[in-house]
């Protein structure tokens, strides 16, 4: 568990972070969401023990980061948003260079490099010069670099930036593999759809302050519940009225004629009862689909950053 307690970071008169507190579960894929200038990169640099907070504490288990920065850095793999590569090195030489920086014995490096290149699907590019790699390949190589010392925590700043759709899918699958290996992955991004598909938990940050945090479903529910989509063959007005009378449904609106969208705050049992009510009244239901919190993450983010904060 990573515990961030009342972290603030001030640059002269500018507050990059203001009394921000978070708990990041071990083994999670945790998304930090916010517009440019929200403080996401500052928070990642503090977590990487590269930047001291002005006030507050960060705990990695029983170790406080300001007291044991070197120890914490051994557990961290950090991939910044702008990463450096050496174009005259091959992929294998690039990883060998960073393995040496981390003090890994020379005789151990070939095996580690082979495993990492296989993990990030770059085995075929082992002897290719870094400058010849595509943007997506360079991203995967830099992720391999962050893994070279086998850290337990990965900090990734905008890892999907500039990637084409296929490369984003490959990155998403790779991060899930790393989570399956027991690693905690913390991602900063403004590409909301990608985070919704990748992350188990999210925190929305604006102006250096934490707005809301939790697992993706919790965040969506806290900001107004689930969105229930119901398509019917006919009797739209009757269906709308039935839905309005069901406990847990906040509002109902019509979308494209025979598609109704209802804000719903109930649990799965109430959801089943809602469908049963429609069937009992012989409503010709074509589809009945609650949208997940992940599907709604962008709507939640837009609502929050427009000032509609949770109560």
Most confident of 112-116, 130-134, 154-158, 285-289: 112-116
Q: Which of 58, 57, 45, 54 is nearest to 14 (CA)?
A: 54
Question: How far apart are the C-alpha atoms of 226 and 230, rounded to whole Å?
Answer: 13
Higher-pLDDT residue of 2, 220: 2
Asked whether residue 142 carries a pLDDT value surpassing 50, the answer given is yes
Higher-pLDDT residue of 82, 260: 260
Higher-pLDDT residue of 51, 265: 51
Tell how strand 76-79 and strand 153-157 pair up. parallel
pLDDT classification of 185: cutoffs 50, 70, 90: very high
Spell out the domains of the chain, with CATH numbers in brackets. 2-214 (3.40.50.300), 223-305 (3.30.70.100)
Question: How far apart are the C-alpha atoms of 249 and 85, rounded to whole Å?
Answer: 53
Range from 73-82, 103-112, 127-136, 184-193 carrying the lowest mean pLDDT: 184-193
Asked whether residue 279 carries a pLDDT value surpassing 70, the answer given is yes
Alpha carbon 98 to its chain centroid, in Å, reads: 26
pLDDT (0 to 100) of residue 310: 41
Residue 203 burial (CB count, 10 A): 24
Q: What is the mean pLDDT of residues 126-153?
A: 91
Asked whether residue 176 carries a pLDDT value surpassing 70, the answer given is yes
pLDDT classification of 23: cutoffs 50, 70, 90: very high
pLDDT (0 to 100) of residue 212: 83
Question: How far apart are the C-alpha atoms of 145 and 206, rounded to whole Å?
Answer: 30
Torsion from C-alpha of 180, 80, 22, 24, nearest 10 degrees: 10
pLDDT (0 to 100) of residue 301: 66
Q: Which pTM value belongs to this model? A: 0.75
In angstroms, the first-to-last Cα distance of the chain is 27
Burial of residue 299, with CB atoms counted within 10 A of its CB: 0-12 exposed, 13-18 middle, 19 or more buried: middle
Q: What is the three-class DSSP state of 32?
A: strand
Q: Are 9 and 166 in contact (CB under 8 A)?
A: no
Q: Are 290 and 244 in contact (CB under 8 A)?
A: no
Element (H, E) at 14: strand 14-24
Q: What is the mean pLDDT of residues 121-133?
A: 93
Q: What is the mean pLDDT of residues 180-188?
A: 92
């Amino acid at each position: 568990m990573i515990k961030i307690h009342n972290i603030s970071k001030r640059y002269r008169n500018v507050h990059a972070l203001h009394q921000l507190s978070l708990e990041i579960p071990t083994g999670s894929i945790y998304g930090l969401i916010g517009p440019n200038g929200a403080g996401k990169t500052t928070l990642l640099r503090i977590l990487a023990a590269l930047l001291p907070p002005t006030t507050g504490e960060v705990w990695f288990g029983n170790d406080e980061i300001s007291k044991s920065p070197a120890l914490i850095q051994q557990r961290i793999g950090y991939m910044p948003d702008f990463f450096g590569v050496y174009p005259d090195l091959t992929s294998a030489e690039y990883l060998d260079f960073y393995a040496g920086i981390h003090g890994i014995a020379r005789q151990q490096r070939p095996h580690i490099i082979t495993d990492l290149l296989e993990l990030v699907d770059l085995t075929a590019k082992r002897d290719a010069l870094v400058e010849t790699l595509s943007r997506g390949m360079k991203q995967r190589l830099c992720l391999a670099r962050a893994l070279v010392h086998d850290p337990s925590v990965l900090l990734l700043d905008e890892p999907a930036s500039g990637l084409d759709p296929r490369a984003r899918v490959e990155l998403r699958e790779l991060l899930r593999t790393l989570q399956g290996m027991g690693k905690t992955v913390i991602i900063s991004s403004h590409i909301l759809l990608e985070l919704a598909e990748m992350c188990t938990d999210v925190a929305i940050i604006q102006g250096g302050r934490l707005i809301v945090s939790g697992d993706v479903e919790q965040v969506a529910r806290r900001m107004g519940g689930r969105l229930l989509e119901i398509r019917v063959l006919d009797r739209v007005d009757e269906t709308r009225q039935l839905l309005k009378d069901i406990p847990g449904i906040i509002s109902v609106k019509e979308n494209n004629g025979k598609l109704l969208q209802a804000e719903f705050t109930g649990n799965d049992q109430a959801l089943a009862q809602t469908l049963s009510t429609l069937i009992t009244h012989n409503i010709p239901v074509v589809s009945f689909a609650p949208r997940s919190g992940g599907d709604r993450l962008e709507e939640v983010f837009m609502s929050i950053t427009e000032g509609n904060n949770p109560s």
